[in-house]
Chains A and B, each alone.
Chain A
Amino acid sequence: MSDWLSDLIFWIVFAAILLGLRRQRIFWTVGALGLLLLFNQFFTPGFFHLQVLDGHLYGSRIDVLNQGAKVMLLSLGMVLVIATGGVDLSVGAVMAIAAAVSSRLLVTQHLPAGVAIAVALAVSILAGAWNGLLVAGFGVQPIVATLVLMVAGRGIAQLITEGQIINFLDPTMVYLGNGHLLGLPFTLTLVVVMLLLTHFLVRRTALGLFIESVGDNDEASRYSGINAKQVKFLVYTFSGLCAGLAGLVACSNIKSADANNIGLYLELDAILAVVVGGTSLQGGRFYLVGAVVGGLFIQTLTTTFYAKNVSSDIAPVPKALVIIAVCLLQSEVFRTRFARVLSPIEKFLKPVGSWLPRHLPTTARHDSPKS
């Protein structure tokens, strides 16, 4: 298939998705991702090039999906934590712990990969539960509670690896971060499965409602009979699990456990992904898919800088600027103030999209009068 044809199909599909989302909160997140991709379409030669090798797809967009898996996994846990009005700063350190535990068991204990993975995930869940205990059980402020593990976690990981970088060649472990399934990176499957699982966990049960309720008004939720402590404990524990998975993917990517660098600063990327995805740091309403798309956006940004040979020393500056722009686009205040500039875009979108279903829940308008 020639490149221009596959590009065309890609953009048609993308535009259709964007139109379908135009009344949803994540419209702006997906739109921002689209703009970034559009930039690459024109200014980054080869960014849209796809090729098939040994039945596997390769290309920059595939790289983005593969490399972005870690932040996307983290953001699934992070978005729930943030929805309860908290934050989990320890996910990067928990990634390092998971990586250390699994490779240590694999290399020095010679345990099968399945066992190593299971134990690493169990330890991550435990780490998350610890955060949950501090926040829900003892009422420690989330930032402080998770800061403890953020700092101590890397030390724990160092203890486990005895300060060494542990290399491994176990095929199962290597497959996790480098393998392919149906021509696509296995990590993509992992993200999709986790997204579906999380969606089921929070939206097919009432947990999502409880999380939003606790995040929006803790006290009133308690009066309504919601077990706010249990809800908080659960989300931190779940965030631990997500961090563990991300940690396994991260060490599999580089076929070694480097306790000092695995997951370094990724907690910040995960928080950004959640915010870019439309969830407020104040808690309450959360957007699961938004957070994942936010993670994808941040990875696309990073990959774009690589592709444009922006030195990694100064890359954070343009990155920050782009992220500020995305956050401004989501801000209702900003949008009303700059309505004159933005309305032609909306006008352009309206007739194109008027045939689409209208039942999607819209974001709230806060301008209806009170007495």
Chain B
Amino acid sequence: MPLLEIAGLSKSFPGVKALDAVDLAVQPGEIHALMGENGAGKSTLIKVLTGVFPRDAGETRLSGQAIAPKSPREAEALGISTVYQEVNLIPHLSVAENICIGRQPTWIGTVRWGAIAKRARAALARLDLSLDVNRQLSSYSIAIQQMVAIARALDVSAKLLILDEPTSSLDKTEVDELFRKLRILRQDGLGIIFITHFLEQVYEITDSITVLRNGCRVGCFATKELPRLNLVSHMIGRNLGQVEALEHTRASTATIRSETPMLEARAMGKKGSIQPLDLDIRPGEVVGLAGLLGSGRTETARLLFGIDNPDQGTIRINNQPVKFRSPRTAIRYRIALTPEDRKVAGIIPNLTVRENIVLALQAGRGSWRRLSITEQEKLADRFINSLGIKTPSREQIVRNLSGGNQQKVLLARWLATEPKLFILDEPTRGIDVGAKAEVEKLIQSLRQDGLAVLFISSELEEVVRQSQRVVVLRDRRKVDELTEAAISEQAIMESIASHSSERPEA
């Protein structure tokens, strides 16, 4: 008997059928991947399952019992625990408090701190983890916080654990660690639903895959019997040939306009952030910045965009020495940056698509030279069309768009400023395969238009595919620079690994 059985589950929002008679079965002791593009209905399915949204039709059985939780709390009590993409914990509380909050053991109204610590330790022990449970959560790395979130989910005698994009902010070693723990849980007979955009991880850890597309179930497959390309084509609903073409395009160097770099950094560094490094980016060139999470990639981008100020070295733009005090100065030199963390530093969530798109251009013009509404609308429409931003209207609030479309809005915001150097920090993180391909295509067309691009990504194959030159960072230091034919995943991994195996701080 399956642990979880969902049959004919449907959910509509005004104007959209988000889930259309979806079936799903998870066996005990199984890790089950839920795959699909952004907007395919994965999150909606999870939210209906855990009682965030009421369902329109269909039924859910847990261990044979029909269930219909009305809130995540009720779902938890039934044994369905969820760990969301963004760690939903409270950074300023201790690890123990985070694990037990909301169900803290009390004695006539007072909290029993000793019992809390004990319970937290027990929950962590199940993950083979021992931490100082009294330390503040934020003092641990994101990876550890993620584990704490899972420990919290397990603390309520869970039968089914749902992990929504648990690995999107973890580096390779941390992912391995997480997977080791998931295997322990699998052996304990837990059912695990695993949602991710990383295909390799799906093949590494899951037993079966359910693919959703446009709110419908495409099918359920055993992971071993489903070739990767077939999976992708199921997800995006295109045929295999197109997918293969995408995988095999490899950027050429033909477009480099001149040997004079657009940007030239010499011994640029900042104490405690990144060791001095040299970096050249020429017009028409994509430079990849590779390295593990925390190796100094984002820090480098921050220096180049004026968010942090370098305390040593020089930056020259078109041979002019420059000093950036703030992003505003960098923007004046036609530099653009889409940040790693879209939610925190990217989108303005409650403003409209139009307002988000015109923002940087308008900021550059200052408040007096306001773009008229007609100009703004034209600009917004142009980018909505050219980047294929899926939105009901340009006046839609950006928060309501899917991740991939939010990313496109950010790209549009910067393209509107007609930059000469575009720094893309993890532009494809957390977005679906289709949108990823579009972003990659866009980067190539920017390059052909003569832009200089600095491309930062955790996905090595992407870096390899996109870049004419790859700068490898490790432990906040530049350790290698690969060009042209020397660029391969193998080479990058070797140069990351070759310089001692000490782990970087996350």
Contacts and interface: CB of A to CB of B under 8 A. Distances in A.
Contacts of B18: 369
B144 to A, nearest CB: 24
Contacts of A219: 344-345
Given A222-B327, A225-B327, A368 B348 contact: no
B359 A361 contact: no
A237 to B, nearest CB: 14
Contact of A371 (B38, B358, B360, B413): B38
A367 B13 CA distance: 7
A337 interface: no
A178 interface: no
A108 B40 CA distance: 75
B101 interface: no
Which range contains the number of B residues in contact with the other chain? 35 or more
A212 B367 CA distance: 13
Contact of B348 (A216, A365, A367): A216
B367 A206 contact: yes
Given A213-B351, A368-B16, A224 B367 contact: no
Contact of A223 (B346, B358, B401, B402): B346
B360 to A, nearest CB: 5
B365 interface: yes
B43 interface: yes
Given A223-B307, A225-B327, A368 B400 contact: yes
A264 interface: no
A213 B327 contact: no
A285 interface: yes
Nearest to A222: B327
A365 B400 CA distance: 9
Contacts of A206: 362-363, 365-371
Contact of A285 (B350, B358, B362, B363): B350
A309 to B, nearest CB: 44
Contacts of A216: 348-351
B348 A221 contact: yes
A333 interface: no
Interface in B342-393: 344-351, 355, 358-360, 362-371, 392
A25 B407 CA distance: 28
B363 A225 contact: yes
A223 B346 CA distance: 7
Contacts of B401: 370
Interface string A340-368: 00000000000000000000011011111
A371 B42 CA distance: 6
Contacts of B349: 216-217
A207 interface: yes
Nearest to B36: A371
A205 B400 CA distance: 27
A214 to B, nearest CB: 9
Contact of B413 (A217, A224, A366): A224
A365 B401 CA distance: 12
B472 interface: no
Main secondary structure of the interface of A (DSSP, over half): loop
Interface string A103-134: 00000000000000000000000000000000
A284 interface: yes
B345 to A, nearest CB: 5
B153 interface: no
Contact of B14 (A217, A223, A367, A370): A367
B367 A205 contact: yes
A371 B39 contact: yes
A365 B13 CA distance: 11
Interface in B10-55: 13-16, 18, 36-44
A227 B13 CA distance: 39
Nearest to A223: B345
Contacts of A212: 348, 350-351, 355
B43 A370 contact: yes
Nearest to B15: A368
Contacts of A366: 397, 399-400
B178 to A, nearest CB: 22
A226 interface: yes
A364 B397 contact: yes
A220 interface: yes
A328 interface: no
Nearest to A367: B13
Interface in A32-72: none
Contacts of B400: 364, 366, 368, 370
B337 interface: yes
Interface centre among B42, B43, B327, B401, by most chain A C-beta atoms within 10 angstroms, is B327
Contacts of B362: 206, 209-210
B337 A223 contact: yes
Nearest to A207: B367
B395 interface: yes
A217 B344 CA distance: 7
A371 B350 contact: no
Contacts of A225: 327-328, 331, 360, 363-364
Contacts of B360: 224-225
Contact of B370 (A205, A223, A369): A205
A368 B347 CA distance: 18
B403 interface: yes
A371 B43 contact: yes
Contacts of A368: 13-16, 392, 396, 400
Interface in A197-214: 204-207, 209-210, 212-213
Contacts of B397: 364, 366
A219 B368 CA distance: 22
Contacts of B284: none
A210 B39 CA distance: 30
Give the top 10 A-B pairs by smallest Cβ distance, nearest first.
A225-B363, A371-B38, A364-B397, A225-B331, A369-B18, A206-B370, A207-B367, A206-B367, A224-B360, A205-B367
Interface of B: 13-16, 18, 36-44, 305, 307, 326-328, 331, 337, 339, 344-351, 355, 358-360, 362-371, 392, 395-397, 399-403, 413, 432
Given A285-B351, A368-B400, 18 more contacts: A209-B355, A209-B358, A209-B359, A216-B349, A219-B345, A220-B344, A220-B347, A220-B348, A226-B328, A227-B326, A364-B396, A364-B397, A365-B14, A367-B14, A370-B44, A371-B37, A371-B41, A371-B43
28 contacts: A206-B362, A206-B363, A206-B365, A206-B366, A206-B370, A207-B367, A210-B362, A212-B351, A216-B348, A217-B344, A217-B348, A220-B344, A220-B345, A220-B348, A221-B359, A222-B327, A224-B327, A225-B331, A226-B359, A227-B363, A361-B395, A362-B395, A366-B399, A367-B13, A368-B14, A369-B41, A371-B36, A371-B432
